[in-house]
């Protein structure tokens, strides 16, 4: 009797297995060229410890006293709180979904001899973010008011010591788009439509706790980060041409 039951179970197993639905993970296709880009044209602004605004080309410098400006020319201060040479946007096809891949290249580096802070080595690195293709909010934006757009991230990361030319193949190998991550891409911004100017910060953070990504470093007041607060643009921001920035399709 026990032998008969075993035969019956074995007979049904192939039927069950063949009846299961086979679902393949959708193929990821990244456009060969960026669908939008903004090359340079970024001015970084920092409110110094003694109440003066300090500007930097493509760089938001750390908060020091304005009389310490000479230190900003030397690493690691020269990397700033954030820096970027450009922003590139690629289209990503994932099954039936159209997503956006945002690249934020930046200057990076390290001391070969960390203990003596000597032997500085410069390198190029890249932050990347994958979001749903958003709808434009440009016509709804009120001038001078602080706005924040939050995009749920499918995936994001940082690749150090890599060129833009080699970035896409490397990112494609790392992507996991099967489900959205627990991180959010933040775009804090203010616009002045009449003069065609936008002030903004672009960064990622965890949806529950503070775990900043997508910048060189953090900025804190009394031990608390300003990222994710309405006060951030009172102390640091990038300034750029509104018309050019809006063509990135993330605003």
Tokens representing residue 182 in the block: 């627990």
Mean pLDDT across 155-165: 95
What pLDDT, on the 0 to 100 scale, is given for residue 141? 87
Confidence of residue 139 (pLDDT cuts 50, 70, 90): confident
What pLDDT was estimated at residue 85? 87
Q: Are 43 and 55 in contact (CB under 8 A)?
A: yes
Q: Is residue 59 part of a domain?
A: yes
Asked, for residue 151, whether it belongs to a domain, the answer is yes
DSSP letter string, 142-178? PTT--EEEEEEEEEEEEE-S--HHHHHHHHHHH---S
Q: What is the pLDDT of residue 20?
A: 61
Sign of CA dihedral 155, 161, 167, 169: negative
Per-residue pLDDT for 25 more than 60?
Answer: yes
Closest by CA position to 86, among listed 155, 38, 19, 145: 38
CA neighbours within 13 Å on the CB side: how many for 137?
16
Closest CA to 123 of 68, 166, 171, 175: 166
122 in a structural domain:
yes
Give the confidence band of 45 by pLDDT, cuts at 50, 70, 90: very high
Task: Report pLDDT digits (tens) over 57-99.
Answer: 999 999 999 999 899 989 999 999 999 989 999 999 999 999 9
What is the extent of the structural domain holding 156? 29-246
> Which residue has better confidence, 145 or 137?
145
In a domain, 165, yes or no: yes
Within 10 angstroms of residue 99's Cβ, the number of other Cβ atoms is: 19
* pLDDT value of position 77: 95
CB 234 within 8 A of CB 211: no
Tokens of 146: 């602080």
> What is the enclosing helix (H) or strand (E) of 125?
strand 118-132
**In this structure, is residue 12 part of a structural domain?**
no
List % helix, strand, coil for the chain (3-state, nearest 5): 20, 40, 35
- Separation between Cα atoms, residue 211 and residue 209, nearest integer Å: 6
Task: Tell whether 178 is covered by a domain.
Answer: yes
Q: In this predicted model, what pLDDT tens digit does every residue of 231-251 receive, in sequence order?
A: 999 999 999 999 999 999 998
CA 250/CA 68 separation, integer angstroms? 36
Question: What is the rounded (10 degree) CA torsion for 245, 150, 178, 157?
Answer: 60
pLDDT of residue 114: 92
Residue of 239, 132, 128 lying closest to 189 (CA atoms): 239
Residue 11 lies in a domain: no
Q: Identify the pLDDT of residue 21.
A: 65
**pLDDT tier, 19 (very low <50, low <70, confident <90, very high otherwise):** low
SS3 246: helix
Banded model confidence at residue 225, pLDDT cuts 50, 70, 90: very high
User: Domain for residue 23, yes or no?
Assistant: no
8 pLDDT tier (thresholds 50, 70, 90): very low
Question: How many domains are there within the chain?
Answer: 1
């Amino acid at each position: 009797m026990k032998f008969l039951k075993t035969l019956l179970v074995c007979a049904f197993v192939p039927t069950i297995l063949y009846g299961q639905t086979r679902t393949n993970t959708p193929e990821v296709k990244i456009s060969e060229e960026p669908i939008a880009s903004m090359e340079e044209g970024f001015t970084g602004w920092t409110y110094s410890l003694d109440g003066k605004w300090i500007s930097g080309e493509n760089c938001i410098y750390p908060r020091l006293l304005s009389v310490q400006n000479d230190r900003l020319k030397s690493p690691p201060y020269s990397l700033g709180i954030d820096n970027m040479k450009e922003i590139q946007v690629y289209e990503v096809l994932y099954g039936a979904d159209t997503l956006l891949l945002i690249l934020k290249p930046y200057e990076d580096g390290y001391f070969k001899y960390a203990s003596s802070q000597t032997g500085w080595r410069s390198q190029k690195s890249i932050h990347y973010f994958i979001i749903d293709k958003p709808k434009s909010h440009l016509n709804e934006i009120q001038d001078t008011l602080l706005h924040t757009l939050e995009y749920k991230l499918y995936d994001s990361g940082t690749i150090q010591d890599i060129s833009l030319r080699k970035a896409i193949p490397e990112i494609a190998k790392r992507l996991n788009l099967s489900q959205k991550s627990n991180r959010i891409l933040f775009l804090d911004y203010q616009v002045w439509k009449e003069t065609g100017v936008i002030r903004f910060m672009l960064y990622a953070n965890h949806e529950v706790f503070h775990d900043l990504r997508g910048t060189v470093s953090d900025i804190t007041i009394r031990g608390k980060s300003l990222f994710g607060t309405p006060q951030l643009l009172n102390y640091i921001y990038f300034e750029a041409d509104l018309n050019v920035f809006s063509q990135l399709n993330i605003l």
